[in-house]
Amino acid sequence: MRLNPVLDKLTPYRAGPPVTAIQRRYGLDTVVRLSANEIPWGPFPEVIEALKRAVEGLNRYPDGSCEELRGLLAERLSVPEESFMFGNGSCELLMLLGQAFLSPSHHVVIPHPSFVMYRSIAMMNGAPFSAVHHRDLVYDLDAMLAAIRNDTSLLIVCNPDNPTGGYLEPPILRAFLDRIPEDVVVVLDEAYGEFVTSPARQESAVWLSEYPNLVILRTFSKIYGLAGLRIGYGIADRQVVQALDKVRQPFNVDSLAQIAASESLRRPERMEERRWQVAAERDRLASRLTDMGIGCRPSQANFLLVDVTDLRIPGPEAPQALLERGVLTRSGYAMDCPGWIRVTIGEVEEGDLFLAAMQELRDARGPAKMTHPVAGLSAETLSPES
């Protein structure tokens, strides 16, 4: 077999075993999944009804250009219809951007630590990349600018950032965009944009007329509760949309996903309600952690990056110790963010379980309750990278 040699550098994504397997292994009644930045609630009720009605039409291929959804978004955001592109999750759009813009002679600048897909799209396309380290867990925008080379075609910024939760306010981001050469496409990944409650928040889609090299990515996986359906969208200059049309398969977004996304957009009040519900729980967890003497980073997303260096167990063991107490989190050690874990904002009861487990790990009394991780059932393999 003559496999593409770039595959030698790639490792397959390993999804963890189901929650039931963890329950059995550790004898737990409840396991909460706070590792993948999913929202704890399902699709809006109107979306569920629309999906039920749509199932009968599944003998037909979907609309390859997502006309209805495109029209709704164009109206909502006051952006021309031709500026939208759709993907099987925003992950697919990242992959298509990689195919369209990266090659061994096209370099990409990515933040570090960050979402695993950014590095993957560089490696899949054999593209050189510069992973620019955050400074004190905040974007080092000057260093990102300095990393741009003559052969740079893409630069990626995630806002709010995964895994730190940090938010680059619009004036800072725009000043940064002003300094990027026009032939470098800036991918602004706003997977968590709907969770922002900062008064500084602005609709970034309106910046497109000023910055034709800007590509905004969004997803229905997070606040809309549609992660299982896989649908995301991008807003970009026509040239970018046309380039991606050349590399995508004709029916890349399934019909149920399109219907669910359109119906979700028709319920802005429900989305707004979720935004504030998540923010309230985010504030509650942050202040309870502070009361316990545990630090966390300011977040505008649906997760918190929590300091695990002051627990009575070594920090790298914290995700496993939490798992054994029924709480799945994402280890910062696995994301090159040592000393931290990332915890998704869930229901209040889920947050309480997390806080109780953290309190135990924080408590100075008694030996840590640790069992040895079994192969294939450790916190690392259980926590999807996202």
Ligand X SMILES: Cc1ncc(COP(=O)(O)O)c(C=O)c1O
The distance in angstroms from the start CA to the end CA of the chain is 32
Q: Which of 188, 206, 234, 258 is nearest to 85 (CA)?
A: 234
3-state secondary structure of 86: strand
Residue with tokens 């994301």: 335
Residue nearer to ligand X on the CB measure, 152 or 221: 221
Question: Which one of residues 35, 152, 153, 162 is an interface residue with ligand X (CB under 6 A)?
Answer: 162
Residue nearer to ligand X on the CB measure, 79 or 216: 216
- The residues in 174-193 that bind ligand X, with binding defined as CB under 6 A, are 189, 191
User: Is 302 an interacting residue with respect to ligand X (CB under 6 A)?
Assistant: no
Residue nearer to ligand X on the CB measure, 115 or 354: 115
340-344 and 303-307 beta bridge pairing:
antiparallel
User: Is 221 an interacting residue with respect to ligand X (CB under 6 A)?
Assistant: yes
DSSP per residue over 342-362, as a string? EEE---HHHHHHHHHHHHHHH
User: Is 232 an interacting residue with respect to ligand X (CB under 6 A)?
Assistant: yes
Question: Which one of residues 22, 50, 91, 357 is an interface residue with ligand X (CB under 6 A)?
Answer: 91
Question: Which one of residues 145, 227, 241, 271 is an interface residue with ligand X (CB under 6 A)?
Answer: 227
Query: C-alpha distances in angstroms, 52 versus 64, 67, 88?
Result: 21, 21, 20
User: Is 386 an interacting residue with respect to ligand X (CB under 6 A)?
Assistant: yes
User: Is 264 an interacting residue with respect to ligand X (CB under 6 A)?
Assistant: no
107-112 and 32-33 beta bridge pairing:
unpaired
Q: What share of the chain is helix, strand, coil (3-state, %, to 5)?
A: 40, 15, 45
Residue nearer to ligand X on the CB measure, 125 or 221: 221
CB-facing half-sphere around the CA of 346: CA atoms within 13 A: 22
User: Is 120 an interacting residue with respect to ligand X (CB under 6 A)?
Assistant: no
User: Is 335 an interacting residue with respect to ligand X (CB under 6 A)?
Assistant: no
Q: How far is the CB of 232 from ligand X (least distance, A)?
A: 4
Residue number of the CB atom closest to ligand X: 89
Residue nearer to ligand X on the CB measure, 90 or 331: 90
8 Å CB contact between 159 and 128 = no
User: Is 345 an interacting residue with respect to ligand X (CB under 6 A)?
Assistant: no
Cis peptide bond N-terminal to 45, omega within 30: no
Residue nearer to ligand X on the CB measure, 221 or 264: 221
Total of chain residues touching ligand X, rule CB under 6 A = 14
Helices (H) and strands (E) in the chain, counts: 13, 12
DSSP per residue over 230-279, as a string? --EEEE--HHHHHHHHHHS-TT-S-HHHHHHHHHHHT-HHHHHHHHHHHH
Cα Rg of the chain, angstroms:
21
User: Is 225 an interacting residue with respect to ligand X (CB under 6 A)?
Assistant: no
- Which x/- pattern over 10-49 shows residues binding ligand X (rule: CB under 6 A)? ---------------------------x------------
Stretch that binds ligand X, among 84-92, 98-106, 305-313, 348-356 (CB under 6 A): 84-92
Stretch that binds ligand X, among 88-96, 274-282, 283-291, 371-379 (CB under 6 A): 88-96
The dihedrals phi and psi of 37, each to the nearest 5 degrees, come to 55, 35
User: Is 77 an interacting residue with respect to ligand X (CB under 6 A)?
Assistant: no
User: Is 131 an interacting residue with respect to ligand X (CB under 6 A)?
Assistant: no
Separation CA 297–CA 340 (nearest Å): 10
Question: Which one of residues 35, 90, 120, 164 is an interface residue with ligand X (CB under 6 A)?
Answer: 90
Q: What residues line the site for ligand X (CB under 6 A)?
A: 37, 89-91, 115, 158, 162, 189, 191, 219, 221, 227, 232, 386
